[in-house]
Amino acid sequence: MITLSGIFSAPIKSFALIPHQEVYVGYKGLPGDRRFYLIDSKGKLITQRNCTRLALIRCGFLESKNELSITLPDGRIIRGEPALGRKIRTMLWGRRFNGHIVDGDWNDAISEFCGFQVKLVKSEFEGNCYDEYPLSILSKDSAKSLESKEFQDIDIRRFRPSILIDGLNPFEENQWIGSSISIGNDLVVQIEGKDPRCSIVSNNPNDGFQDGDMLAHLRHVTSDIYLGVYGLVVKPGRIAIGDQISVNI
């Protein structure tokens, strides 16, 4: 039996993943996922490639209340309504999109943590800040197959999936490309292609430091840099941990 074993989102791109027990998934993916992001003093996108320790900052966004919160590793919490400042345009993987600088204490706190000046930005529209597609889908056994003497008990958060699946053979999700899957009673997702990985997979989500070259290890094991698949929502719906997953042929 194939089941849903994990649901994750990150309201601020590259920050710590938030686990969910149950959530409604719309055409743009999980609500509030990657709605915010960071830029540097020159307006360039900042991710864990630039500051690996971003994975240690927890965040939350309640869109119904327009309330954003971040929790720093030292326990400091900044919570409030994200006041929107000047409008800017940002380049993300060859695409340009609009956003607004978020004014307030967020910027000083995150800049101090990173060790260089950053600004928090809210994208104008939900779904702008995904790398390619709204959902990244990964099988637990695909990740587990990468365990080795160097990488023991791999933490799934390295790979930042939005949907984690149990009950598959390693890399079996690759066979779904071109088909759709149903999760629970309502959600239907079209599987579009493999998920290409980058240096972020080498970041340990527990301490924010690189603890080995996971990207090179992935290439050694699989002969490429792909792990998991991308999904596009074709029928929105509510999902919960334990939901059964079926492949629509």
The answer to whether the CB of 177 falls within 8 A of the CB of 193 is yes
Write out pLDDT tens, residues 191-210. 999 999 999 999 999 999 99
pTM for the full predicted model: 0.95
Given this model, what pLDDT does residue 58 score?
Answer: 97
CATH superfamily name and code, 3-28+132-248: PK beta-barrel domain-like (2.40.33.20)
DSSP of 36-67, one letter per residue?
EEEEETTS-EE-TTT-GGGGG-EEEEETTTTE
The amino acid that residue 180 corresponds to is S
Q: Give the pLDDT score at 249.
A: 72
CA atoms of 109 and 117, how far apart (whole Å): 10
Distant-in-sequence, close-in-space partners of 114: CB < 8 Å, separation ≥ 6: 46, 50, 51, 53, 54
Q: What is the pLDDT of residue 207?
A: 93
- What's the order of all strands across the beta sheet hosting 77-80? 58-62, 67-71, 77-80
Contacts of 175 (CB under 8 A, 6+ apart): none
Residues of the chain with CATH 2.40.33.20: 3-28+132-248
pLDDT number for residue 153: 87
Stretches in the chain below the pLDDT threshold 70: none
φ and ψ of 10, to 5 deg: -145, 100
Q: 22 pairs with which residues across the strands?
A: 240
Residue-wise pLDDT tens digits, 164-186? 999 999 999 999 999 999 999 99
Q: Is 2 helix (H, G, I), strand (E, B) or coil?
A: coil
